[in-house]
A and B are shown apart, each in its own frame.
Chain A
Amino acid sequence: MMRKLTIRHFVGLITLSLFLLISLSASAQTRQISGNVTSVDGPLPGATVMIKGTTTGVVTDPKGSFKLAVPANGTLVISILGYDSQELVIGAANTYEVKLAANVSALNEVVVVGYGTTKRKDLTGSVSSVTAEQVAKVPVTALDQALQGRSSGVQVTNNDGAPGSGVTVLIRGVGSLGSNEPLYVVDGYPITGGLNNINPNDIASMDILKDASATAIYGVRASNGVVIITTKKGRRDGVEVALDAYTSVQSEPKKYKVLNAEQWATLANKTPGFDRLPEWANPSALQNVNWQDEVYRSGVRQNYNLAVRGGGEKVQSSFSAGYFDQKGVVTGSYFKRINLGLNIDYDATKWLKSSSTAKYSRQNANNPFGTGALATLSELIPTIGGNKLTNKAKDENGNYGFYDPVNTYTRGWNNPLYTIESQDSKNLTNYFLGTTSLEATLFEGLKIKTNLGINTTDYSGYYFMPSDTRSLDQYGVASPNILNIYSQSANNTFEWLWENTVSYSKTFGEHAVDFVGGISQQRNEFRQVGGNGNALISDAIRDLSQVKNLVAFGNQQTFTLASQFARLNYKFMDRYLITATVRRDGSSKFFKGNQYGVFPSGSVAWRAKEESFLKDVNFLSDLKLRASYGEVGNQAGIRPFQYLARYSSGGPATSPINVGYPFGGAYQDGLAYVNLDNQRLTWETSRQTDIGVDAAFLNGDLSLTVDYYRKDSKDFLLQIPTASQSGVTNSAQNAGSIRNQGFEFALNYKHTENDFTYGVGLNVTTVKNKLLSITQNTSFIGNLVNLTTPANGWLQFSRTGIGQAVGEFYGYKSVGIFQTQAEIDALNAKAPRGNYQGNSSQKTQPGDRKFRDVTGDGQITADDRTSLGSPIPKFYGGVNLDLAYKGFDFNAFFYGSYGNKIFNYQARNLESFQAPSFVGIQNVSEVYYKNSWSPTNPSNRYARVNYNDDVSANNVASSIYVEDGSYLRLRNVTLGYTLPSNVAKKLTMSRVRMYLAAQNLFTITKYSGLDPEIGQPTGTDPNNNNASSNNATASGVDVGTYPSSRFFTLGLNVTF
């Protein structure tokens, strides 16, 4: 009681102060006017009609009518929750008809939650929504990219700028050391991968379930958040034909400033210790090859989408066809996709209806450098004299240059243009997602529903590289004969889902109950086959039966989920809300007895605005307080059957991983114990607390959502390195725990005044990520993924200790460059083994990088490595500006990240004259060339140039490569013009809009590399046969990936 009074007092004070601020002047000369306030649905009772700048006003009666005494000059402000407020200049007339437009972003907006929908005002959990309009604003290839900057709590980072390449989506921080990918549910179907097959143009809305209350209905798959995607349905009234098309031109990316042939050869001639080619003696005569220019080009992206949506009372259908074609900025890279979609809703009877969706896509993509290898372009020696026919990358006769195949220091390099243009490859994917449901209303409020879905993906691809005898022809046996190689593979995933639910909603006086419960089964079968070999008799053949040294593979795997779930919403007096959710999930990934988990959650909300003491507080349009707690799981990080001890024959005699052995000159099969049995393996668990406030002001024009979250995740499913004494090098374990906590703010303002509409949206999320524990025998975890590129000195670049943020960079503290031998001698004199740094065979010299003796033992050892910063931002967010005036619309969208560090591995490469990990030399950056240490140029930043940087160890992972990765990017800016409707009508169209858009126009950053947007670069997983992989312990490392560049788009939206 006491508390209630206090709140009342407080509110009263605020109200009073507002009164004081507002001018109380009232005119003496008044007259009476009257009017009606309506919406498309009819009269609007309860709307407030105020005289602007005063406190005078009335509320409309049950028929939507009002009467008011007004001054001679003035403006009426008409507002009501759920509708855009309107201002009206008082003229001579005495009656006014006001039609208000519904405000879709307000509280009556329907939010899709698992197995049902709810109104935003009734939500007790934390859910952000992204609308079709927002998705349409930035042209994207895949849906996850469209999430960037649109929702608080969701961090989206493009891993690289290649067409169709991956995106890292983190909902509320890094919650796992394994998989951090959210669950995507498309039209009620929880998909397993393949998100980039969904056509972004088909999206009606994306609802992001963030807290445990919202996600718990998805149980063991929910701990990384859930994104519910709903596609556009047909309409009930008539037909709409929509054509959306755009074409974008993508500019060439920024390039690294590296040396030209003359500079490079000059440098090579100054650097002793390796074999030179005679022609380098005359640098100015060399043909320069700028590899970045040779391989980069401008890109083109086209997207066409045609949709027919319509229907009547009984049947509504939506058909769409899309074509997306992107030619990337790297020669040979492309991403093409054809989409067909069909949604049919059929209300068979008053009580029976069905809803079906079908989505087909065919995708063809190629990315010649894969991910990460693009850095090679800046490292290739800029002169290429090996081919006696040409010293160009490619000459007029179609001859490609190659590097001298005899010289040890150049023969490791290849002409990438030759590789790209001579290879033949295809990566085709056919994708189908179909769902159909039947729902019966048994009686008012009680519905039963069965939902069936299938999802199938077929991939088939091949890669061919022709034989290459060019260097053999010109240099004879001294150079290797390169055989053609061919590989072909195909795989198929087939998955089905069957779910049955019962739902019941009922209002009893002040009480409202909404219940849904159901059961679900899902089964996923995967099968693949493939092979590779070489030495085909002709370069025209693409047939595995014609290869020599065939290595074939083929396997299959099934996993299943069986679940029961229920959710109960209870609402009292439309203001006290309680939600309780539970899901029991069984997964075949675990051993009997550990298969089933129960995931409960509960939440409460209080719509304070409905209370009598706030009802009349006009500046506050809405206020809701929320709190939730719950437990959800994650099983994505592990392959099936890790709980079984397994024996493997490892393949035939020809396989590099066979475990057999020859006796008497003939191979005999082996059978080896290959992994530990761990029957205790179980899912990862995350427990999350969320406290949130939703508030709206200024008649709903301004809305604010603030959430505090704390997510404790544990028992990560990891294939972790295990001491070899166990007999395996790694084993599947549940290990570790992490806490993520922070605040999310979402602020939106939108106002319409006459023809002018403007809006600002801002969302900011803070993240504090902390490793709480790892396994019992270690206090840290290193990077679980290695860099794909040769990484001498960079095998370990991240290490997360207890209390640190996941993926903290790890290496030596660089403290400048040794300037004099005396400086080195002084340190050596004090060193226990006579060497402060380096060793007896590799003496440190002036010009070498100097590292800090962190342990203080007088020498630099591996123990002197230390934490160098975190790739996790302190906060990130998006800013959205919308302006519309008459036919014009303008949108600017910024995305930014603050406080994260980048480990600039590529800078290391550009400061290494030696090709890391190889016997070979490479190109370096101009900055390094001009500033590298020499006795006459005593740099304290750039080490001396030498041909064996691997040994000098100047370029090992150290603080010199750690940079501030904060940035603010103008992600998108759009200017659109919609033809006046009468003009459009003359063209037999109902709406015609043209727009110009630019993506990535500018980026504000201190980062020295090409692009500060660095997610989790694809690396290799040493614990999984070096399969390519992304991991949170290996994020924020710039390996010189495909940078984002600018897109300029011209688009057209036409509706008939």
Chain B
Amino acid sequence: MKNKKYLYILAVGLIVLTPFSCKKGFLNQTDSSNPTAQALFNKPADGIALVNAIYDTYQNADLLKKSLWYYANFQTHDFFNWGNDRFYNTYAIPSTFGGIQVFWQRAYIGIARANSAIEILKTMKVKGVLNEALANRLTGEVYFLRGMTYYYLASSFGGVPLELSNGANDGLKPRNSQTEVFTQVEADLKLAAELLPWKEEYGASDLGRATKGAALGYLGASQMWLKKYAEALVNFNQLNGKYSLMPRFIDIHEYNKENNAESIFEVQFIIAGTQSWGGGNEVAWIGSFGMPEEVSNFGYDYGNKILYDGFQAGDLRKEASIIGPGDVHPSPAIIAKGGIKSYPLVIAGFASTDAAVKAKYTGVDGKIINTCGTVARPWVGTDNAIPRSGYYSTKMWRDPTLDGNSGVSNIFGAQNQILLRYGEILLSKAECQARTGDNAGALATLKVLRDRAFGGTAPVVFMSEGKVITDPLQMVYHDYRHELTGEYSTFYNLRRAGVATSFVKEVYNITIPRGRELYPIPQYEIGLNPNLVPNDGY
């Protein structure tokens, strides 16, 4: 009995006194949900994935559409917003506007991804995980993407803070000047141009990656911002023979002609998962929100009749850019689908027992409508308080699988977005030629584009807005608009040329308030980084 008692005491005592299971690792847990640097970067795929994630920052509608596309087209007054973002119509963009906040955020997230990738790729190359060719290409892609991102930041906001290194970063740097940023862009893109292969050197499975051509294109553009027109010209000229104009203008933005011979850099989308709300970010609503409400139940963007009317007679770019009452949709893919009359809302509307609805969907021939409204009954939407103009972008309205918020509700589409194409390079080149005194060269370059625009041979007289234009630089400005409207360039190019305000005044008789050529620095970011100085005029 006594022994047993001591046995108990011993047993319990041992348990208490022995620091049980105090294994060293008890507090050192591994994060099994989120890969850390220790678990990664030991195979080439990781390096590729790091770079892919930088491209991913562009798959964002707030960045692409609400920031870049709005800037390129709303700021010129060629297109308007019907929805909540109407303040563009009066250049009263609030510094709290979510779209530009997301743009700023995504841009810097992409830059941080690039900065971290630069270091990691270096290590992977040293360790032999990446061979030299792959390491160089990936590094080139990273510099391209960082450069391009700073390009759009500086083009939209003016000077922005330059963040160029990785590591614990408090995000409190002040803004650099616009010139400093473009100088950095130039340096990044020069490096990228050295490291990157030409488009044709990539395999088919890498279609869409940054190329030497893309780097040279943006390099030239950044040099134009720095007024280095001669150097820009040299870089643009390197693209000769590497890219060509699509023979027919309408084909540039055709859904089934993505990544075509004219495209230099385009943001890629594919169908992955649902094409409705809650879908992945591989699709975007960029297409369907600009389709008329009568077709999509949306109709958030609509065009300016002055843009429509300003094309020179015979210019095939007009209907490929903007259509209005009585116009048949010119896209071969939409025609193949059955045209406007094949849209579910149109069919339902024509079948409606409500006379007013039926009228809206009845063509001039009394049959189901196949035009974008009629002259008598333009498609101005159901909001009588703020009627749309009846004119809509045809560069955005191309994906024949989209029907907006109707039918099977295919809202989100996979149409790639061309950010830079050879047609724009030629226009930029013409500007450089004119600015370096080569007016003849400029006119010759312009003629190539104009010949295509008019389906063969352009009229000798250059007309825009019903006026004859003879100055080569003025021609370039007007063609920035007629060639590139509805894309991602027009207002950027006009501001780059220093004529944005005067051009808008000339064409629309609208004065852009002082300082409002630029976006406001997002208020949210100023709140987080008090070193950010707001733009003058905001």
A-to-B contact residues, CB < 8 Å: 272-275, 349, 351-352, 408, 438, 440, 442, 448-450, 475-481, 498, 500-502, 519, 521, 523, 534, 548-549, 551, 555-560, 562, 586-588, 592, 595, 640-641, 644-650, 652-674, 676-678, 721-729, 777-778, 839-841, 862, 919, 947, 950
Q: Does B112 contact A (CB under 8 A)?
A: yes
Closest to B87 in A: A841
Taking CB atoms, residues of chain B closer than 8 Å to A588 are: 26-29
Judging by beta carbons under 8 Å apart, are A595 and B208 in contact? Answer: no
Among B300-334, those with CB < 8 Å from A are none
Q: Measured between alpha carbons, how far is A1053 from B516 in the docked complex, in Å?
A: 76
Pick from B22, B31, B115, B383: contact of A408, CB below 8 A. B383
Judging by beta carbons under 8 Å apart, are B108 and A671 in contact? Answer: no
Closest to B22 in A: A562
Q: Does B274 contact A (CB under 8 A)?
A: yes
Taking CB atoms, residues of chain A closer than 8 Å to B344 are: 477-478
**Assuming A476-B348, A647-B36, A841-B86, is B16 touching A450 (CB within 8 A)?**
yes
Closest to A275 in B: B382
B383 to chain A minimum Cβ distance, whole angstroms, is 7
Judging by beta carbons under 8 Å apart, are A655 and B20 in contact? Answer: no
Q: Does B459 contact A (CB under 8 A)?
A: no
Among B80-138, those with CB < 8 Å from A are 83-84, 86-87, 89-90, 92, 96, 104-105, 107-109, 111-113, 115-116
Closest to A556 in B: B32
Judging by beta carbons under 8 Å apart, are A557 and B32 in contact? Answer: yes
B435-443, B495-503, B521-529 - interface stretch: B521-529
Taking CB atoms, residues of chain A closer than 8 Å to B13 are: 440, 442, 448
Judging by beta carbons under 8 Å apart, are B528 and A478 in contact? Answer: no
Among B149-171, those with CB < 8 Å from A are 161, 163, 166, 168-171
B-to-A contact residues, CB < 8 Å: 5, 8-9, 12-13, 15-16, 19-22, 26-29, 31-37, 40, 45-46, 48-50, 52-53, 55-56, 59, 83-84, 86-87, 89-90, 92, 96, 104-105, 107-109, 111-113, 115-116, 161, 163, 166, 168-173, 203-209, 268-270, 272-274, 278-282, 297, 344-345, 347-349, 351, 382-385, 405-409, 523-525, 527-530, 532
Q: Which 7 A-B pairs have the closest CB atoms?
A: A727-B112, A654-B273, A726-B171, A723-B171, A670-B53, A653-B272, A477-B344
A915 to chain B minimum Cβ distance, whole angstroms, is 13
Taking CB atoms, residues of chain B closer than 8 Å to A481 are: 407-409
Question: Could you list 6 further interchain pairs (A-B, Cβ under 8 angstroms) beyond the known A549-B278, A727-B163?
Answer: A477-B348, A557-B32, A588-B27, A660-B56, A667-B282, A839-B90
Judging by beta carbons under 8 Å apart, are B29 and A661 in contact? Answer: no
Pick from A478, A558, A646, A667: contact of B349, CB below 8 A. A478
A877 to chain B minimum Cβ distance, whole angstroms, is 38
Closest to A950 in B: B84
Q: Measured between alpha carbons, how far is A974 from B535 in the docked complex, in Å?
A: 66
> What are 14 contact pairs spanning A and B, CB under 8 A?
A521-B20, A556-B33, A588-B29, A592-B28, A641-B29, A655-B280, A655-B281, A659-B52, A659-B56, A671-B35, A671-B52, A721-B524, A723-B529, A840-B92
Taking CB atoms, residues of chain A closer than 8 Å to B12 are: 352, 438, 440, 448, 450
Pick from A275, A442, A658, A722: contact of B528, CB below 8 A. A722
Taking CB atoms, residues of chain A closer than 8 Å to B22 are: 521, 562
Closest to B343 in A: A477
Judging by beta carbons under 8 Å apart, are B268 and A661 in contact? Answer: yes
Judging by beta carbons under 8 Å apart, are B170 and A726 in contact? Answer: yes
Q: Measured between alpha carbons, how far is A481 from B277 in the docked complex, in Å?
A: 13
Q: Measured between alpha carbons, how far is A138 from B42 in the docked complex, in Å?
A: 62
Taking CB atoms, residues of chain A closer than 8 Å to B45 are: 669
Judging by beta carbons under 8 Å apart, are B15 and A558 in contact? Answer: no
Taking CB atoms, residues of chain A closer than 8 Å to B280 are: 652-656, 658
Judging by beta carbons under 8 Å apart, are B270 and A501 in contact? Answer: no
Closest to B281 in A: A656
B344 to chain A minimum Cβ distance, whole angstroms, is 4
Taking CB atoms, residues of chain B closer than 8 Å to A640 are: 29, 31
Taking CB atoms, residues of chain A closer than 8 Å to B532 are: 723
Judging by beta carbons under 8 Å apart, are A727 and B96 in contact? Answer: no
Judging by beta carbons under 8 Å apart, are B172 and A557 in contact? Answer: no
Judging by beta carbons under 8 Å apart, are A725 and B87 in contact? Answer: no
Judging by beta carbons under 8 Å apart, are A667 and B272 in contact? Answer: yes
Q: Measured between alpha carbons, how far is A141 from B521 in the docked complex, in Å?
A: 50
Judging by beta carbons under 8 Å apart, are B163 and A662 in contact? Answer: no
Pick from B16, B20, B168, B207: contact of A677, CB below 8 A. B168
**Assuming A275-B384, A557-B33, A663-B268, is B205 touching A727 (CB within 8 A)?**
no
Closest to A407 in B: B382
Judging by beta carbons under 8 Å apart, are B16 and A500 in contact? Answer: yes
Judging by beta carbons under 8 Å apart, are A275 and B53 in contact? Answer: no
Q: Measured between alpha carbons, how far is A673 from B49 in the docked complex, in Å?
A: 11
B65 to chain A minimum Cβ distance, whole angstroms, is 16
Pick from A448, A672, A726, A950: contact of B56, CB below 8 A. A672
Closest to A669 in B: B49
Pick from B8, B96, B530: contact of A862, CB below 8 A. B96
Judging by beta carbons under 8 Å apart, are A727 and B29 in contact? Answer: no
Closest to A274 in B: B385
Closest to B408 in A: A481
A468 to chain B minimum Cβ distance, whole angstroms, is 13
**Assuming A641-B31, A654-B273, is B53 touching A660 (CB within 8 A)?**
yes
Judging by beta carbons under 8 Å apart, are A654 and B272 in contact? Answer: yes
Taking CB atoms, residues of chain A closer than 8 Å to B16 are: 448-450, 500-502
Pick from A272, A645, A661: contact of B385, CB below 8 A. A272
